[in-house]
Structure 1
Amino acid sequence: MEPIDVTERLGRWSSGRGPLYVLLAARLRQLIDDGELPTGSALPADRAFAGQLAVGRNTVVAAYDLLAAEGRITRRQGSGTRVSGPAAGSGPDTTAAPMFLNLLEPQDDILTLACAAPEAPPPAIVDAYARALPIMAAMTAEIGYHPAGYPPLRQAVADRYTRLGAPTTADRILITNGGQQALSLLARAFVRPGDRVLVETPTYPGALEAFHEEAAILTALPIGLPGFEATAHARRPVLAYFTPTFQNPTGTVLSALRRRRITEIAAALDIPLIADEITADLPFPGVDVPPPLAAETAPPLSLGSSSAAIGHTAAAFGATVISIGSLSKNTWGGLRIGWIRATPPVIARVTRLRAVHDLGGNLPAQIAATGLVPDIDAQCETRAAHLKSGHDVLRAALAARLPEWSVPAVTGGQTLWVRLPYGDGTSFAQTALRHGVAVLAGSGLDAAGGSEDRIRLHFRHPAGLLVEAADRLAAAWQAYHPPAEPASAAPPLAI
């Protein structure tokens, strides 16, 4: 392969905020992922590259180490440093943004248990669009650009939070193109290269992708964020992210005491706390759902000597909570309606970013969604029995065909967190794909580099497809031969 002038392709790479090695790694990562540095191309030696960039050798070594941990480059004594591609491993690219793989490269013969979402639009969406048509026909002075969202929809979302116990005004709501855009906008608003973000492990892979895109350094804590206060003092994160209700992927629901404690610590230490509550609308029949985290308004408990002196009034408590919601999981993903609930200054800040990207969302969709938001609870009640049925069908089918797998039950949400008795999820996911079923390897959901023995499955398909998926998984498991070394996917900039 012809030598590549890496320094020429780098362009401006050191103008951001954060350690130089993180900025350099972020720029090289972008070049690799965009194909500007093709697989197999040689990168300069440490000392030579440092001299070309006028930085210390340790900067180059640290940047290379980050990229090597992600599998994007390979460093071997005697043969130098070479690009290994956008993702670690060989064969089909099932480790780079695996949740999105089936969306980017759909295959008709693959049953996907990787990306969970409703299978089809419910009749309520058709009705909502029918009601939206006269509203649009009556518009005479409407340019259609609303960076913060269609005002009646913002008010409808605010009213829903108020009904759920978190008094909210429309200026605390930003409408987005789904929950994923909400995460991406928040990551861009709060994170600079090298900043630390505290996340649960395992967690929603789309969140890891959003933080990864901003070159964040991830600090992982177990579900429920035990050790939050001590870790925050030691690591100084600019943001914390977690899912308090029907956690993705485990289905965990945090207790009221733990929710209050997390909110209290975030408020006392002034750390913006993103509560991803998209899955909170997916309880099984008869399961009580806790109120939104933003409903926490009680005065703080004692935090101990390190932070007890920080006073917060009842009105300020919980002001650091940023809530994310969406119609994607409780109604239909194709509608692409999500939202952020936060303080007015945060909403204004993120709205400015949003305006640069697309000036505002799809107005007809937002008009239709305005009529759907007040009926979310009724829609969820209708879907609850279907979710519970899919959960039970898939667990029963797996128990009959793969009794050695550990498949804990959940009380809501849309995913099962499965433990394999041996091998690793990444290599098994590749075997499963060859048998016609797509699953999500656990290591891609774990910022700490763990969960190698896990896979995530969703249960939203009709019963017949879930049984067929279990048959294919059983065939894949029978044919599966674990590699000598685990084929785990490296976490994005995880420390």
Structure 2
Amino acid sequence: MSPIGVAELTARLGRWSAGRGPLYLLLAGRLRALIDDGDLPPGTGLPTDRALAAGLSTGRTTVVAAYDLLRAEGRLVRRQGSGTWVAGAAPGPRAATEPTSSPVFLHLLEQPDHVTQFACAGPLTAPAAVPDAYRAALEDLDGLGYHPAGHPRLRQALADRYTARGLPTEAGQILVTTGGQQALSLLTRVLVTPGDEVVVQAPTYPGLLEVLREHAAVPYPADDFVAAAGRRAAFAYLIAVCHNPTGATLPVARRRAIAAAYASAGVPLIVDDVLAELGFAGPEPVLPGVITVGSLSKVVWGGLRVGWVRADTALIGRLARVKAVHDLGGGVVDQLAATYLVADLTRLAAARVRELRRQHDHLCGLLRDRLPEWTFEEAAGGQTLWVRIPRGDSVSFAQVALRHGVAVLPGTQLDASGGGGDRLRLPFVAGPADLTATVSALAGAWHGYRAGPAVAALPAIAV
């Protein structure tokens, strides 16, 4: 069995230090769970005491004590000069892909009450329009209820919205999905075969990188997106408006040049417009001739798991056949509620943008006041800032922040090029009081942070 690297083990450990009690017991407890669940199989070599301590930004004695405790329990084997590994015989070949170890998903799966969630971004409360829409939907139920491509009324409502924004669209060009994440998963399943290359930005949305890993695709981080159109890629993935994580928006002429380049090369271009309604300068034009992914999760509420794909009818048909096998279609009540919300989306988006702009400005002011060493560019919209820390690395600092009660997302998880080691993605979705308390905790973590050797970036994908 091959050894596991420091960065990968650090990611799998997740919120190991967020509990109460001595750090060595917390670390041993998380390692014990990974071993017992099979996430660290027998024969797996573990990092040295010093290397793991540096990666976790903790003392070497903490790691030594945790390893020794698990050795006494028979879960680890430790021999001087030979290293430390999980006890037991190495198993046979494993599946091509392993369960996700991305903090984006682990922070959702593991949510201790005393840890502030500063790793994921999305509206923290649903507007009053959401329960109103559900009440209306519950009075409007009929038919069999199975709609693999989406409820006809929602498909038509989304098509009408695209048409009103200057991109004529028919209902047959819309596939309704369980959020934008499922849209990306379905598109990747249909367009990619193992080993295919996919052009991405660096950094980019980490959920897409996890989908590529799941399908054994290879991300190609492109500095020049137009030039990368000449590559033999399965598709390209672009966040052009309110980029996640930087908050930047590409000029309209640049967006059109990118779309033209990929159309000419015959490479599908997927444009992620999940955040496109959240620009501080107002609505942006819709890009024609591309595959578009949208969602209500960022504009309205994350718990409303309704997304969609806009594409040509042939691709929509292929996607619908795959989706039918998996879930026979999303919940009808959710989709009918979404129909009412889509009709009111312009007003809802404008209210959300006003709120986000206030919170963005508040967070920027807090960072300049409490953490003047950190640098960033103000966002043009969206929900996040892309912040540079001047020393150490984002993975080890995230561990220190966790011990101060704040979960933050290290930049390495968003950059397929291996960069982002000096970056953090910080959302401005919370209210001013919560942002103030969170930045205060981050400042405390930073002032107590002792940077060790940089932790190597966790590969975004393993083929």
Structure 2 length as normaliser, TM-score?
0.79
Amino acid at match of 1:467: T
Give the C-alpha shift of residue 385 in structure 1: 1.6
Alignment map for 1:312-323 (pairs within 5 Å): 318=289, 321-323=290-292
Indicate how the Cα distance of structure 1 residues 42 and 128 shifts in structure 2: closer, same or farther if over 3 A, else same.
closer
- Deviating beyond 4 angstroms after TM superposition, the runs of 4 or more aligned structure 1 residues are 32-37, 78-85
Alignment correspondent of 2:271: 275
Alignment correspondent of 1:122: 127
Which of the numbers 114, 137, 143 marks the counterpart of 1:109? Answer: 114
Alignment correspondent of 1:38: 40
Amino acid at match of 1:289: P
2:463 matches 1:469: no
Amino acid at match of 1:236: R
Amino acid at match of 1:290: E
- The gaps in structure 2 that reach 5 residues or longer are 2-33, 46-80, 91-99
Give the C-alpha shift of residue 283 in structure 1: 2.1
Give the C-alpha shift of residue 463 in structure 1: 0.7
Which of the numbers 228, 241, 248 marks the counterpart of 2:226? Answer: 228
SS of match in other structure, 1:422? coil
Alignment map for 1:244-323 (pairs within 5 Å): 244-284=240-280, 287-294=281-288, 318=289, 321-323=290-292
Alignment correspondent of 1:89: none
Q: Percent identity, please.
A: 48
Alignment correspondent of 1:443: 412
Alignment correspondent of 2:166: 165
SS of match in other structure, 1:147? coil
Which of the numbers 357, 373, 379 marks the counterpart of 2:342? Answer: 373
Give the C-alpha shift of residue 488 in structure 1: 2.9
Alignment map for 1:197-216 (pairs within 5 Å): 197-216=198-217
Alignment correspondent of 2:14: none
Give the C-alpha shift of residue 428 in structure 1: 0.7
2:229·2:261 contact (CA, 8 Å) conserved in 1?
no
Cα deviations by residue, 1:256-309 (Å, 9 ceiling, x for unpaired): 11111111011111111110001111122xx13321112xxxxxxxxxxxxxxx
Indicate how the Cα distance of structure 1 residues 37 and 376 shifts in structure 2: closer, same or farther if over 3 A, else same.
closer
Aligned equivalents of 1:241, 1:174: Cα separation in 2: 18
Which of the numbers 214, 228, 233 marks the counterpart of 1:237? Answer: 233
Aligned equivalents of 1:236, 1:266: Cα separation in 2: 11
Aligned equivalents of 1:42, 1:263: Cα separation in 2: 45
SS of match in other structure, 1:480? coil
Cα deviations by residue, 1:314-336 (Å, 9 ceiling, x for unpaired): xxxx2xx1100000000011110
Aligned equivalents of 1:412, 1:121: Cα separation in 2: 20
Aligned equivalents of 2:245, 2:44: Cα separation in 1: 38
- The gaps in structure 1 that reach 5 residues or longer are 2-31, 44-77, 86-94, 295-317
Structure 1 length as normaliser, TM-score?
0.74
Alignment correspondent of 1:46: none
Alignment correspondent of 2:378: 409
Amino acid at match of 2:198: V
Aligned equivalents of 2:124, 2:244: Cα separation in 1: 19
Give the C-alpha shift of residue 416 in structure 1: 0.4
Amino acid at match of 1:243: I
Alignment map for 1:5-154 (pairs within 5 Å): 38-41=40-43, 96-136=101-141, 139=142, 142-154=143-155
Tell me the C-alpha RMSD between the 2 structures. Answer: 2.4
Indicate how the Cα distance of structure 1 residues 427 and 375 shifts in structure 2: closer, same or farther if over 3 A, else same.
same
SS of match in other structure, 1:334? coil
Q: Give the paired residue count.
A: 385
Aligned equivalents of 2:222, 2:361: Cα separation in 1: 30
Aligned equivalents of 1:80, 1:197: Cα separation in 2: 38
SS of match in other structure, 2:222? strand
Amino acid at match of 2:284: P
Aligned equivalents of 1:81, 1:346: Cα separation in 2: 50
Give the C-alpha shift of residue 33 in structure 1: 11
Alignment correspondent of 2:157: 156
Amino acid at match of 2:320: T
Aligned equivalents of 2:424, 2:328: Cα separation in 1: 38
1:418·1:454 contact (CA, 8 Å) conserved in 2?
yes
Give the C-alpha shift of residue 80 in structure 1: 11
Cα deviations by residue, 1:17-47 (Å, 9 ceiling, x for unpaired): xxxxxxxxxxxxxxx999657345259xxxx
Cα deviations by residue, 1:412-459 (Å, 9 ceiling, x for unpaired): 100000000111111111111110011110011000001110000100
1:197·1:238 contact (CA, 8 Å) conserved in 2?
yes
Give the C-alpha shift of residue 407 in structure 1: 2.4
Aligned equivalents of 1:481, 1:325: Cα separation in 2: 41
Amino acid at match of 2:145: G
